Structure 1
């Protein structure tokens, strides 16, 4: 494993140790162990079930696009590649390591690298767009509820939403106006060169051209495949809902049963928005802190909230790392490329 990934794993381990340490600082040990004894295991199984559905819909979404560009793609390979992507998304900042590893893994399954990149870009475009729309809906229905109860909530959530929305706007601009996007990128490279922040302008220019060409190719593929596009949208909505619903079952497990499922799902979406601009693997620190603040509205004691943070992070973050590591360790059968 590369040194960079080892460093990221160390960051995650340190963060986990800090979370556990803070667990015993926010309340008395007696109160924390009392809350732990009152945990209902049935609801924790519900949270695990949500993660299984999350992985299922993630794998099906990947399989839809992969099968479109490479008819020989097997569902088992799509599941394996999807789970490996979960691992590298979790251990790299801004989930930046998932797609390159997935493209490499798809190529080892026999898919040409260009088609693998195109399939992953199609999925990424749909995911970012659906996430932005999903976030907008939660803002419309529950923004005032949390803004009136949590100090500083408005700024953090709006910044997070703007970050995600800016990504979608950038993708749309690249897809519909590739020449203008390329010209803007070239101007930015020249500006960086003048500021002596760009040491390899030719290499950056070539990479910019490849990326824009890849996005436009993927966008044309989506436009020609209406049913696949619809299937991707449905799978992504179900995927996000399953992920956000895991926190609802964590709340139920700890006795917070008066809050509505929709409010908890919105709170989870807000946590994702707030933590989206934290430049650490798994948004470490930002995810735990925002969850503690927002979900503190649903629990009577700080100890219960801290325990909820720990259980939620175990189910939605450390479990995918463990599961993805298992798939990464499994031997893979290489297939000959068809082209």
Structure 2
């Protein structure tokens, strides 16, 4: 446990250092002075932060809807704190990969089975993949911006979705293949461990089937997914307005989609460095004012706030664990 705590602190320190140095470097490249921040309009910065809060809230509501499909009614506060805690872990792990296990653990703590929780997180990722593939292609057609890079990313996401659909089809159409796989591993693991694996695999399969049957809530989940990401993608435009710059709504939305997908590359904790320099490069193509200042405020709202709110959420869980 102590080793895990030290590892977490180390990753947080590395992520924070990379982010801080990247912001400073970008501000130096953009010849940003502190005077520019004095004249920023606080009402637009407040609106940008509110959009990020909506990002948290919409994510929580989506998890609530997903859990309701499986017949669970989870406490909103617990799920919301789980989203904040998962964002903290995502901020200090490469490609934000640490967030999913945290949300799954929160769902299990609220009464879900491991297979059901895993299926819920998989549905989240599937919804995000559908949204990004569709959204990026639409925005690129509207803006004509970064067509080469954007189309490559869109094609990759489309291929991944196709592979996922094929995998799910095989899983549901030919369950006997799953049984053969289970028999293969039965002789290679302990009996109690195998029983647990078998139970969770079938629970996972049943949970996915439940999601696929409930078409009435499919549009609700897609709408919530769009609200999650569009609220987050609008943050830079409001930061631009705070510095009396053109918000470039379409180009900014397109750039944000490209940045999020590029940030999935597992190079640095929380995509530190990749996000800052990627933002600087993309926005320098169309923003007339100082991009360096925009990067600093944007990253503070969307990244630093995730860390701070996540620390509060994790302290809540730690306190509850101690009291137990």
Both structures adopt the same fold (TM-score exceeding 0.5):
yes
Q: Is 2:29 aligned against 1:26? A: yes
Question: Could you list the per-position Cα deviations for residues 126-178 of structure 1 after superposition, in whole angstroms to 9, with x for gaps in the alignment?
Answer: 22222221122122222x3345xxxxxx24x3443344334322221111123
Instruction: Tell me how large the CA RMSD over aligned residues is.
Output: 3.2
Cα distance between partner residues in 1 of 2:227 and 2:138? 15
Residue 177 of structure 1 aligns to a residue whose secondary structure is: helix
Deviations 1:220-261 (A, max 9, x none): 12211112222111100111100100111111112212x432
Gaps of 5+ in 2: 181-187
- Deviation of the 1:63 alpha carbon: 0.5
CA contact (8 A) 2:30 2:291 kept: no
Contact 2:83 2:103 in 1 (8 A): yes
Counterpart mapping for 1:141-152 below 5 A = 141-142=142-143, 144-147=144-147
TM-score of the superposition, structure 2-length normalised? 0.82
Is the 1:95–1:282 contact (alpha carbons within 8 Å) kept by the matching residues of 2? yes
SS across alignment from 2:297? helix
Gap runs ≥5 in structure 1:
148-153, 187-201, 335-339
What pairs up with 1:195-214 in 2 under 5 angstroms? Answer: none
Preserved CA contact (<8 Å) 1:174 1:212: no
- Find the counterpart in structure 1 of residue 301 from structure 2: 315
The residue aligned with 1:42 is: 43
2:41 and 2:243 in contact (8 A); partners too? yes
User: Which of the numbers 282, 285, 299 marks the counterpart of 1:294?
Assistant: 282
Structure 2 CA distance for aligned equivalents of residues 333 and 106 of structure 1: 16
Q: Give, in angstroms, the shift of residue 61 of structure 1.
A: 0.3
Partner of 2:12: 9
Change (3 A) 1:212 1:124: farther
What is the number of residues matched between the two proteins? 305
Shift of 1:8: 2.4
Whether 1:263 aligns to 2:251 is yes
Residue among 202, 211, 220 paired with 1:222: 211
Q: Residue 326 of structure 1 is aligned with which of 308, 312, 323?
A: 312
Q: 1:57 to 1:27 in 2, by over 3 A?
A: closer
**Which whole-Å CA distance do the structure 1 matches of 2:242 and 2:129 have between them?**
31
The match for 1:176 is 169
* Other structure's SS at 1:132 match: helix
> For 2:34, what is the secondary structure of its paired residue?
helix
Q: TM-score, normalised by structure 1?
A: 0.79
The equivalent residue for 1:150 is none
Question: Partner residue of 1:284?
Answer: 272
Shift of 1:211: 9.2
Q: CA deviation at 1:180?
A: 8.6
Q: Equivalent residues in 2 for 1:225-240 (5 A)? A: 225-240=214-229
